[in-house]
Amino acid sequence: MAQLHNIITWCDHTLKSHEFKDYAPNGLQIEGCKETTSITCAVTASMDAIEACIKNGSKLLLVHHGYFWKGEAYPITGMRGNRIKKLIEHQISLVAYHLPLDAHPTLGNNAAIADLLELTDITALDPTQKHPIGNIGTLPIALTAEEFKNKLAQVIQPKILHLPANKTHIKKVGFCTGAAQDFIEHAEKQACDAYLSGEVSERTFYEAKELNVHYYACGHHATERYGVQRLGQAMCKQFDLDYHYFEQNNPV
């Protein structure tokens, strides 16, 4: 049994969450039971994830995408109201870490992508950031654009959208998970051969061609399913908790 306060303190310290300017509050978003013996992790705090948490008997739901995003309406009604009501009814604490979980050098989403692709010589995509939320790495051997797409399909998810450039081979790769398609310009400035993220915009087609950087859209959910698992497993090891992960299989 672990105290909620101790868990949050450890997570905040581990991820240095207070050093990030984010789009939503990091850490404890909804307070439930003061202690727990298990946690359930999910990418997004959907109703399905909440139901899985209840089924698992967890009193803490750890996610990457929580609530209270900037620009959202203040009233707690409708779909979000139903989710929050369910959490409160079952005394489940909602804990969310967004950018801090993208950026962490070992637990983060980008760190996991680097490991999956066997990238080395990891540096910042934007050198001006204190805690880079995007990175650059080097492939063990140069690959053709199609070979790199096939590698992504094997380790991340089968459906990869490739927007081509003129370069025949890929060695230096920029990457930032989620909805970071517009960082392709940072990749071009850092002389990357390719750049990957989760989502894609209409304009990205032209940017990839004119910047001469291959772009790969690998899925927002698919690229961000790793950090919350790594953090959750580390948390359970630290506090001797039971671990559960809920996979939504979101195709976007």
- Over residues 54-113, the pLDDT tens digits come to 999 999 999 999 999 999 999 999 999 999 999 999 999 999 999 999 999 999 999 999
Which ranges constitute the DSSP H helices of 95-183?
99-103, 109-116, 145-155
Asked, for residue 216, whether it belongs to a domain, the answer is yes
Here the CATH number for the domain that contains residue 151 is: 3.40.1390.30
CA dist 75 and 3 (Å) reads: 30
Same domain for 38 and 63? yes
Closest by CA to 151, choosing from 67, 247, 218, is 218
Statement to judge: residues 122 and 170 lie in one domain? yes
Asked whether the beta carbons of 187 and 119 are under 8 A apart, the reply is no
- C-alpha distance from residue 132 to each of 20, 34, 92, 176, 186 (Å): 10, 33, 32, 9, 12
User: 202 and 237 in one domain?
Assistant: no
**Number of domains forming the structure of the chain:** 2
Q: Is the residue at 30 inside a domain?
A: yes
Full residue range of the structural domain in which residue 118 is found: 109-223
Helix (H) or strand (E) holding 158: none
Residue 33 and residue 6 in one domain: yes
Q: Tell whether 93 and 165 lie within a shared domain.
A: no
First to last CA, the chain: 36
- Strands 35-36 and 2-3, sheet pairing: antiparallel
In a domain, 165, yes or no: yes
Instruction: Indicate if 141 and 216 belong to the same structural domain.
Output: yes
Residue with tokens 């680097």: 114
Check residue 249 and give its pLDDT.
Answer: 87
- Write down the pTM of the prediction: 0.96
The residue assigned the tokens 């051997």 is 141
Maximum CA extent, the chain:
56
Q: What is the mean pLDDT of the chain?
A: 97
Give me the pLDDT at residue 222, please. Answer: 98
Judgement on whether residues 186 and 163 belong to the same structural domain of the protein: yes
Sites in the chain below the pLDDT cut of 70: none
Same domain, 180 and 115: yes
